[in-house]
Amino acid sequence: MNTLKNLQLDANGNLRHFLTIEGLQRQTLIDILDLAESFANIKAQAVKKVPLLRGKTVVNLFFENSTRTRTTFELAAKRLSADVLNINITTSAASKGESLLDMLHNLEAMHCDMFVVRHADSGAAHFIAQNVAPHISVINAGDGQHAHPTQAMLDTFTIRRHKGDFGDLRVAIVGDILHSRVARSQIHALTTLGVGEVRVIGPKTLLPMDHRSLGVHVFHDMESGLAGVDVVIMLRLQRERMEGGLLPSEHEFFQRYGLTEEKLSLAKPDAIVMHPGPINRGVEISSEVADGPRSVILEQVSNGIAIRMAVMAMALGRQPGAETGGETS
């Protein structure tokens, strides 16, 4: 944990890379949330930009397919006035046998300042952070089954905007915990921020062996797991990461663990429903709930821009002052 912390923070304790929630202090997470709050209303301005990262170049390195995450990172960088380079991995020199390190060093030679990395291998973002030039920051946009820290932060940001203080909340995370990098990051973020109780709900085959060491309460049925919770976070079944036999069928999974209005009625009347996407309707959540009044799923997408703006600004050492008011021309 100390190694992770030392890699992510500079000598002054400021954020340099954002690779995982694990090892970061509560105040660092609060600083990200507070800074994101200052960016949240930029979308309502006539010119949706602030000049904090003008002259900086952000490179999106997505070795896995993505729509929401890549797009919101790109929008976040552009709203900070950075230049953005999207590398198409399938047509890059990497597809011709160029090593990852050679690709990085070539990008460094082009005077880039930040790499946003999504990769199928756990630990890829850490490897890159350990091997880049000192002036470059690395943001983990999801690595294997390990971590997705900005998703966890936008989720906690959404929760805070609806529920305020974390201390009295009960949060339930439901579904495929085993294969979900989102769930791991969410659990670390929620516990670091002092959420009253974090529950995980799912079949034994979809829970990690070390779940109890994460400080969560485990439930194998929705009835007891959802009772009295303030927040319900549904997860997508990670079929692409499963090795057969973990589930009888998607239909049976929905019957037992899919979120319906009937099951949601077990939670508090003002409970909110979240999902990191993409949604599989009729598998982990019904359309009635996904599109219902307690769903904040689209808000999560919007909040992702503000959170990613905050992380980028902090990692490149640019804290907003008077200039957060946006550009006038």
What pLDDT, on the 0 to 100 scale, is given for residue 246? Answer: 56
Global pTM? 0.91
Residue 245 has pLDDT above 80, yes or no: no
CB 147 within 8 A of CB 186: no
The answer to whether 69 is a known ligand-binding residue is yes
Judge if 279 and 318 occupy the same domain. Answer: no
Q: How confident is the model at residue 319 (pLDDT cuts 50, 70, 90)?
A: low
- Residue 36: its H or E element: helix 26-39
Judge if 153 and 142 occupy the same domain. Answer: no
Q: Tell me the pLDDT tens digit for each residue of 100-152.
A: 889 899 999 999 999 999 999 999 999 999 999 999 999 999 999 899 999 99
> Mean pLDDT score of the chain, rounded to an integer?
89
The answer to whether 54 is a known ligand-binding residue is no
Judge if 153 and 286 occupy the same domain. Answer: yes
The answer to whether 5 is a known ligand-binding residue is no
Tell me how crowded residue 30 is: count the other CB atoms within 10 A of its CB.
14
Judge if 109 and 162 occupy the same domain. Answer: no
The answer to whether 181 is a known ligand-binding residue is yes
The total number of structural domains in the chain stands at: 2
The answer to whether 161 is a known ligand-binding residue is no
Judge if 143 and 153 occupy the same domain. Answer: no
Judge if 197 and 103 occupy the same domain. Answer: no
Judge if 174 and 92 occupy the same domain. Answer: no
What pLDDT, on the 0 to 100 scale, is given for residue 202? Answer: 93
Q: Please, what's the largest Cα pairwise distance for the chain?
A: 58
What pLDDT, on the 0 to 100 scale, is given for residue 65? Answer: 84
Judge if 115 and 161 occupy the same domain. Answer: no
The answer to whether 319 is a known ligand-binding residue is no
CB 92 within 8 A of CB 106: no
Q: Where are the beta strands (DSSP E) in 148-229?
A: 170-174, 197-201, 217-219
The answer to whether 170 is a known ligand-binding residue is no
The answer to whether 179 is a known ligand-binding residue is no
Residue 39 CA, chain-centre distance (Å), reads 17
Q: What is the DSSP letter of 259?
A: B
CATH number, domain of 112, equals: 3.40.50.1370
Judge if 54 and 178 occupy the same domain. Answer: no
Judge if 169 and 280 occupy the same domain. Answer: yes
The answer to whether 192 is a known ligand-binding residue is no
Q: Tell me if residue 236 falls in helix, strand or coil.
A: coil
The answer to whether 158 is a known ligand-binding residue is no
Q: Tell me the pLDDT tens digit for each residue of 34-91.
A: 999 999 988 888 888 999 999 999 999 999 888 899 999 999 999 999 999 998 776 5
Range of the domain at 32: 2-147+302-325
